Structure 1
Amino acid sequence: MPNEPQIQERAARPYAAIPIEAPMREWGRVNALVPEVFGWLAEQGVPPAGPLFYRYRVAGDMDRPFRLEVGVPTPAPVTGDGRVIAGTIPAGRYATLLHQGHPDKLFGSITALLRWADERGLKWRNTREGDQEVWGGCFEYYLTDPAEEPDMDNWSIELAYLLA
């Protein structure tokens, strides 16, 4: 996968996730959900059908909370239990970019993808809820298994943002 933005058509995919609201300064609470969602899938006997992802609904910052889900694609729809929710990765055209390196350096790749789309007049499939912009499909897919590559400087993370 080249390290420059692309547009890809993708099919809908079911997933299981745990939603959370947290500002960047409390990101440890977000990351702590990763083993929980994988543990829930194992308890249900559901194998992952793709890489871990963070689905951003509302962007935040160091103090304003992000609204997001920590999820994993599943081979078929699942039934949530209140803590874990069932969802669907929306079908559609996505602007994508592969980030190589530490997750702490994602901001540069995110900025590059947003700029690339803006230069081409591309619009996101977003809505408004009051004063908040709600993303219809804003995903970070963690393609590298930390058990196989513990050095986060060597990780691959795919950004995939749903286009209008």
Structure 2
Amino acid sequence: MSSSEPRVETRSARPYACIRTRAPLSEWGRVNALVGEVRAWLDERGVAVVGAPQYRYHSVDVAGEIDVEVGWCVAEPVEGDGRVRPGEWPAGEYAVCDHVGSPDRITEAFARLDEWSARTGRPFAKRGETWVGRFETYLTDPAHEPDLDRWRTEVAYLLGTG
């Protein structure tokens, strides 16, 4: 299990469809179930999915609730229905780190990114305590790779300007 050295990537805006929720870590199973719900919603409407499932974190309080969107990037923007809503990755420079191993150890990637930010003086984009662009993309399909130690996850944080 390991996390790569962070790298900077410039990314364009990308549309996605998601469900936003708040939950403590003790209810993370409920959050994870939203991956399938959003995918089924997209499939029912014939919406083309681009890539893997993703989580966008707006605020993280590991002792309390986490404000998160769970969804999928799509080829074209979607109209929401109240439960499923449209979203968009903000365009800009991202600090990106690849994590190989169980999602339960994803904090290794977070620590790498925090260390990188402190070392380089490149802050992450935030408005107060709200992240402007903090994403996890799950690159491994559990149906094809049941071994959690082989899962690949990309963590990407939008960089700030100051």
Same fold (TM over 0.5): yes
1:161 aligns with 2:157: yes
Alignment of 1:75-154 (within 5 A): 75-128=75-128, 133-154=129-150
SS in 1 for 2:49: coil
Per-residue deviation at 1:5? 0.6
Superposition deviation, residue 108 in structure 1: 1.4
Task: State the TM-score, normalizing by the size of structure 1.
Answer: 0.94
Question: What displacement does 1:118 show?
Answer: 1.3
Q: Structure 2: 5+ residue runs without aligned partners?
A: none
Instruction: Report the Cα distance in structure 2 between the residues aligned to 1:50 and 1:108, rounded to whole angstroms.
Output: 23
What fraction of aligned residue pairs are identical, expressed as a percent? 47
Aligned position for 1:25: 26
- Secondary structure of 2:16 counterpart: strand
The structure with more strand, counted as a fraction of residues: 2
For residues 115 and 134 of structure 1, the distance between their equivalents in structure 2, rounded to whole angstroms, comes to 20
Q: Are the equivalent residues in 2 in contact too, given 1:16–1:71 (CA < 8 A)?
A: yes
Matched-pair contact (CA < 8 Å) for 1:24–1:60: no
Report the CA distance between 1:58 and its aligned residue. 0.4
Structure 1: segments with no counterpart, 5+ residues: none
Cα distance, 1:3 vs structure 2:
2.0
- AA paired with 2:90? P
**CA RMSD of superposed structures (Å):** 1.1
Q: Which runs of 4+ in 1 moved over 3 A?
A: none
Alignment match, 1:6 = 7
